[in-house]
Structure 1
Amino acid sequence: MTAPVAEPFGALDPFVHPALFYRDEAEYLDVTVPFVREGLAAGEPVAVAVPGKNLALIRDALGEAAESVRLLDMREAGRNPGRIIPGVLRAFADAQPPGRRVRIIGEPIWAGRSDTEYPACVQHEALINAAFRGRTATILCPYDVEQLPEHVLADAYATHPTVIPSGSRLEQGSDAYAPGDVVDRYNEALPPVPDALTFAFDSGSLSQARHVAVGEGARLGLTGVKLDDLALAMAELTTNSVVHGGGSGVLRVWTEGGYVVCEVRDEGRLTDPLAGRRPVPRDQRGGRGLLLVNLIADLVRVHRGDSGTTVRCWFTR
């Protein structure tokens, strides 16, 4: 970007997080390609994590320079929005020498994201600001103004301290910036569970709960690695319920579209919205359960309430 505007919501913060609004391929490339080239020229590690079609556009426009960029298809790497901060953004940034600025293009919201996925997507965009506060990083987030609904574009103003309007290469401050409000607003109760296998468990029936979940997952069509992922996720979540969620919980398993869905509900209060979305230091004991679930599930939604916590996971059949 040629002339960034001072960021009014934390000018001393080395973290920069603009939203880019674009209407077509030309506008997309007019900002993203110089953004990458300027980073490479400055000796900054650069990653691009965008949907496959846009990834090909950037790769082709960069030519040989693309070999110096970490390229990821966000439709795969970020299918579960809860995986993006720990598995994509922080995984790249944390692998670089301390203090070195990194540049990342991350496009987690595209036309075709479902209404079920969207709350996790917008919470992800809001939580990037907390996850990278104080870090020397620039994360540019493109939004297709021709394809995305108006409420998505409005939310982008609330989750990004600066924006680059369509047709421009200059940042401007967002008066609507309020990431904490977005996290709270989309901490919405999950839709009612349809007819589902239901199993109440406690410390004495943990192994049975896991066996029930795996058996139902297999009956509903999961096999191989996906069934193993379900087994591991349910082991982590049910254990968390017993250890941190009041000693007991309720497990449910059902099908929804092309997915097997599992839910664990308990009376624990999850107060940290970044739980499961930040890497855990290698020397830390525990604290990896929800993170592991985010890394292996196709979608994870969490509802934090006064009466307890619900974690719902989707696995592709």
Structure 2
Amino acid sequence: MTAAANSANPVDPFVHPALFYADAHEYLAGTVPFVRAGLAAGEPVAVAVPGENLRLIQDELGADAESVRFLDMREAGRNPGRIIPGVLRAFADTQPPGRRVRIIGEPIWAGRSTAEYPACVQHEALINAAFQGREATILCPYDTVRLDPRVLADAHATHPTVIPAGAVAEHVSDAYAPEHVVARYNEPLPPPVPDVLSFSFDADSLSTARHLATDEGARLGLSGIRLEDLALITAELTTNSVVHGGGSGSLRVWAEDGHVLCEVRDKGRLTDPLAGRRPAERDQRGGRGLLLVNLLADLVRVHTGQDGTTIRAYLGR
């Protein structure tokens, strides 16, 4: 049994270690005992990791796998902004209050794009705020061979405790600073390709903005449900700009690296880093726009500063 399976913070019941591994043997040595310890304690257990690692854990667990909720993170967590509301909280919130849950979540793997990584590391940092005070243990594996050293360094900053590759005992991370990570990756977004559709909108032209976006999306290769998703994303982002971002904004739509991108800028400032990452309460009125965008898009990038906020949603063609 790993130390991560038993560790508990005397102040905060939430436990969030990073597990470093160099090969399949170390991966299974760190994850399978974690799962079995949870099952033995009567804790609900979920495993959300990339498909190839999912199969490793399932095979090693044997019959115990039947008691575990499995999710392929390449699908469920394709957009890192979707993981807290759509994977982690979606599982934890179905359990009775006060019952500890145990989750393995691996949102960063070799092959994540340069555009995806800032959203990934911000997600890892924000888990700590999203689960503060919750009876939950979330173990996050990191591949020390295939991931960039910068990624491994960031893992020390986003996790209060770490388990070195080949070790069983966890220790406190001296580099832990999740708020600094969120701020550091709140970086200006790369400029779009030349000659993009651009439109300035206000309260009287929201419908026009939506139609322009979907027409351009169709021209760029979206169809069916993906085109409907673009219409909803455009409507939510532009409406948010009118209501919360100073009454107006600018819309841009273009194609890049196999995706159609929809970007909305306004003069508002997003002060809550968990905006769009919390599940909606059953009786909640409003406040679901950015959450819906995260649930629909393949990636969402956000930059907010003194001059305003830019939100960029990616939809695969």
TM-score tier (shorter): over 0.9
Corresponding position of 1:259? 259
Corresponding position of 1:297? 297
Q: CA deviation at 1:121?
A: 0.1
Corresponding position of 1:311? 311
Q: CA deviation at 1:118?
A: 0.1
- Give the residue type in structure 1 aligned to 2:299: L
Corresponding position of 1:221? 221
Q: CA deviation at 1:23?
A: 0.3
Q: Which runs of 5+ in 1 are unaligned?
A: none
Corresponding position of 1:246? 246
Q: CA deviation at 1:2?
A: 3.6
Corresponding position of 2:231? 231
Q: CA deviation at 1:3?
A: 3.4
- Give the residue type in structure 1 aligned to 2:96: P
- 3-state DSSP class of the match of 1:167? coil
- 3-state DSSP class of the match of 1:242? helix
Corresponding position of 1:149? 148
Corresponding position of 2:23? 24
Corresponding position of 1:69? 68
Does residue 212 of structure 1 match 2:217?
A: no
Q: CA deviation at 1:284?
A: 1.4
Q: CA deviation at 1:51?
A: 0.2
Corresponding position of 1:43? 42
Q: CA deviation at 1:54?
A: 0.1
* Counterparts of residues 133-144 of structure 1 (less than 5 Å): 133-144=132-143
The percent of aligned pairs where both chains have the same amino acid is: 76
- 3-state DSSP class of the match of 1:49? strand
CA offsets 1:287-313 (integer angstroms, 9 cap, x no match): 000000000100000001111010001
Corresponding position of 2:107? 108
Q: Which runs of 4+ in 1 moved over 2 A?
A: 1-7
Task: Tell me how far apart the structure 1 counterparts of residues 193 and 200 of structure 2 sit (CA, whole Å).
Answer: 17
RMSD: 1.0
Q: Judging changes above 3 Å, is the alpha-carbon distance between structure 1 residues 192 and 41 closer, same or farther for their aligned structure 2 residues?
A: same
Corresponding position of 1:166? 165
CA offsets 1:169-216 (integer angstroms, 9 cap, x no match): 111000000000000000000011222100000001000000000000
Task: Tell me how far apart the structure 2 counterparts of residues 293 and 52 of structure 1 sit (CA, whole Å).
Answer: 25
Corresponding position of 1:190? 189
CA offsets 1:43-87 (integer angstroms, 9 cap, x no match): 000000000000000000111111110000000000000000000
Task: Tell me how far apart the structure 2 counterparts of residues 151 and 298 of structure 1 sit (CA, whole Å).
Answer: 24
Task: Tell me how far apart the structure 2 counterparts of residues 269 and 261 of structure 1 sit (CA, whole Å).
Answer: 21
Corresponding position of 2:52? 53
Task: Tell me how far apart the structure 1 counterparts of residues 284 and 82 of structure 2 sit (CA, whole Å).
Answer: 20
Q: CA deviation at 1:279?
A: 1.0
- Give the residue type in structure 1 aligned to 2:224: G
- 3-state DSSP class of the match of 1:310? strand
Task: Tell me how far apart the structure 2 counterparts of residues 30 and 22 of structure 1 sit (CA, whole Å).
Answer: 9
Give the TM-score normalised by the residue count of structure 2. 0.98
Task: Tell me how far apart the structure 1 counterparts of residues 2 and 105 of structure 2 sit (CA, whole Å).
Answer: 19
Give the TM-score normalised by the residue count of structure 1. 0.98
Q: How many residues align?
A: 315
Corresponding position of 1:273? 273
- 3-state DSSP class of the match of 1:62? helix
- Give the residue type in structure 2 aligned to 1:267: K
CA offsets 1:28-49 (integer angstroms, 9 cap, x no match): 0001000000100100000000
